Amino acid sequence: MAVSKLEVSDLLDLKLLPAWVKEPAARASYERYGAEDRPEQTRGRRPRRSRGKSPNAESSRRRRERRLQNGPRKSDLRRKEPRAPAQPTSPAIAIRFLPNPAVFENVVAQIKSESLAYSLLALARLFLEKPGRYDVCLKATAERPLHRLGDNGMLAIDRDFLERNAFRFACEEFYKVDVTQSEPIKGNFSNVARCRLSGTLLGPTNYHTYQPQLRALYEQRFSRRMSFAEYVRHVELVNEPALIERWKEEARKISTFTTLREEVPASFASAADAERHFRSRYLPNLIRPVEEATIGGVASRRAPDRVLHRAIEEAWAREMRSPSNLIQELAARFRQAGLHLFRHRRGMLFVSPTRVRPFLYDQAGVSPGVKAILETLAGRPGIRRKELLEKLTENVAPEEVESRKLCVASDLRWLIDEGYVIEFNDGSLDLPRARNAPLPSEQATARNHPEANGLPQKISAPALLALPYSWPTTLNGGVEVPPS
């Protein structure tokens, strides 16, 4: 209910509550009046003067004293216990959120264009933030079947709702609508009905089009929010001449409906006649049960069925708080797209175009620049590029700072491309976490017999930078971490 569109005065005298919840009429209490100031209850009757304390007041005082001494009674405690609010009943229907294929392809292309790692939790929430980025998969159950209007029409849990509104949803598929102007409406009208929520003029209440327009406006715009009886309370009568004239101009529009799927087209002068033809000719075979259906996120936000709309909204709120199902769906699709997944930062799942692996072989023959980068990142995880360059050029002569920065950038680029250093999309750098540490015997074998794996005896900095990016794939003494 759009409260912002309502005037404050419209809400002062309304209590949108059932009759049994409404407050009882306030009874006049005269305890605060004196004998001479007490108002008369009936005309012509003299008020009785007070002659001391009444027995009822004395007994009430004694009861209050006993309660202060003995504590409240159990019956009082039971009355004061608040009732638990009724939990909304969600329909037993399976709802899953899937990434939109076109948006997912763009995300994959962006990830592959850079050597950055992205959090799957952040990506899942980015997909859920806007309805155009995700699809909704609905799966019916034995308790709650799904119904569809035609092959690709509207979905609903309530079959009766589809039957009532089938003409409005499928009118354009079966009829061609032509709008023309009729003769000016004659007659004097003192007022017209107006919807306060939308500002739509519905016409005089005794006009023949009032009830159909009222029901149609409710079904189109407000059936998901409130019942018809509640909506009628938001209809008011206005007697402004300008509004009456505007309604007359709008009511002059006449819609003609012509069939599109018949050999000999038939025309109908009113929507009521066209709807009767639609219900007798097309509706019996139009509504079909479906086991599973996928709709777009934008369409899910506009689901006309109130029960289905509420179920999708509640499922989206749960998934936004903890998008575990969408994370699993993204992980499976990222693997199919050729990307690599790994766990980092307290077990969180990340995706990267590079297979990350710890730098586990002997670092004795590694260039000093690579070794300095690895040692700095080991001591300060999460450091950024600028901070890393400043850290590694602290004790360098001013004339050698630029060349040193170029060497550090080259070594860092090689480490990132090979997966020995992780660069996250927020700009932070870190080392991959090692799942299994190498055994001492394996470390000794790698140091004493590196030629067993085709490694050179000593690796200098120029030789290390000249190696192809695909080397090394596996190393003795290190366990390559598979994607989680």
**pLDDT score of 55:** 55
Rounded Cα distance, 363 and 374, in Å: 10
**pLDDT score of 99:** 95
**pLDDT score of 134:** 95
CATH 1.10.10.10 in the chain is located at 354-466
**pLDDT score of 305:** 86
**pLDDT score of 137:** 94
Could you tell me which of 371, 278, 300 has the C-alpha nearest to residue 137? 300
**pLDDT score of 65:** 67
In this prediction, the residues of the chain whose per-residue pLDDT falls under 70 are 1-58, 61, 64-92, 224, 361-365, 435-484
Rounded Cα distance, 96 and 127, in Å: 13
Sheet of 134-139, strand order: 94-99, 134-139, 292-296
**pLDDT score of 252:** 81
Helix (H) or strand (E) holding 42: none
Rounded Cα distance, 229 and 303, in Å: 21
Could you tell me which of 273, 318, 290 has the C-alpha nearest to residue 97? 318
Rounded Cα distance, 81 and 61, in Å: 25
Can you list the pairs that 230-236 forms with residues at least 24 positions away whose Cβ atoms lie under 8 Å? 230/16, 231/197, 233/14, 233/16, 234/1, 234/195, 234/196, 234/197, 235/193, 235/194, 235/195, 235/196, 235/202, 236/193, 236/194, 236/196
Could you tell me which of 215, 457, 474, 484 has the C-alpha nearest to residue 335? 484
Peptide bond into 472 cis (omega under 30): yes
User: What tokens were used for 122?
Assistant: 């952040």
Rounded Cα distance, 476 and 443, in Å: 8
Rounded Cα distance, 231 and 198, in Å: 11
**pLDDT score of 74:** 53
Class of domain 354-466: mainly alpha
Mention every residue, 6+ apart, whose C-beta is less than 8 A from residue 111.
118, 339, 351, 352, 353
Burial of 315 (0-12, 13-18, 19+ CB in 10 A): buried
Report residue 431 CA to chain centroid gap.
Answer: 35
C-alpha torsion sign, points 108, 110, 112, 116: negative
Phi first, then psi, for residue 201 (nearest 5°) are: -90, 125
**pLDDT score of 468:** 35
Amino acid in the structure at residue 239: N
Name the DSSP letter for residue 3: G
This model's pTM is above 0.75: no
Name the DSSP letter for residue 219: I
Rounded Cα distance, 123 and 129, in Å: 10
Provide the 10 A C-beta neighbour count for residue 352: 26
